[in-house]
Amino acid sequence: MLVVANACYALGLVPVAWLVALWSGGRQFSAAWWWLAAAYGISFAADTVAHWVNPWLVSAVYPITQAAFVAGVLLTRRNLYRFLGVMAVAAIIGTGLNSSIPLRTVAWGTVAGLVWQRPDLGRLRVALLVTFGFGWLAWLWQATAPGWPSWGTLQSVRALGTARTETETGSSGTITTS
């Protein structure tokens, strides 16, 4: 089981490593692709930091960062600031309730909602919907009923969403804001 846990821990690095490999081979990508890959890498960074910092604090911060990276690619600057404000309110409410459910619901739910409205994203849309939409559902199960079945489901959804990002980076197209 340790091997599976370590593989799941490293999942967030896969999109960044994939872009680096393609870039090393001469492919060029817009900054949007790097920001999206970094959004996946946030989970690895958060899991690493949680070894030394209170995991509850990390859990309260990393969804904001991850969702902000994705929203920064998909939204205009003005709408991004609005979204960050709403996430801050959700974080405050969650802190008052001693729960990360409000924040993750707003963060990942909004990303899934934004992506749902963007069929122009093609296969990337599917990857982001799996990661943030189904990922939120799987995380909610894990948060409310911790155990091997819910943890395994969460990691499977993460792996599927991550794998979908690798199939999309064959295109170096432009991602536009709305």
Domains in the chain: boundaries: 15-168
What is the arithmetic mean of pLDDT over 122-141? 94
Distance from chain centroid for Cα 147: 22
The first and second tokens of residue 160, run together, are 């599927």
Cα separation, 148 vs 168, in Å, equals 30
The first and second tokens of residue 139, run together, are 């995380």
- How many CB atoms lie under 10 A from the CB of residue 158? 22
pLDDT single digits (tens) 102-113: 999 999 999 999
Quick one: pLDDT band at residue 115, thresholds 50, 70, 90? very high
The full length of the chain comes to 178
Mean pLDDT score of the chain, rounded to an integer? 88
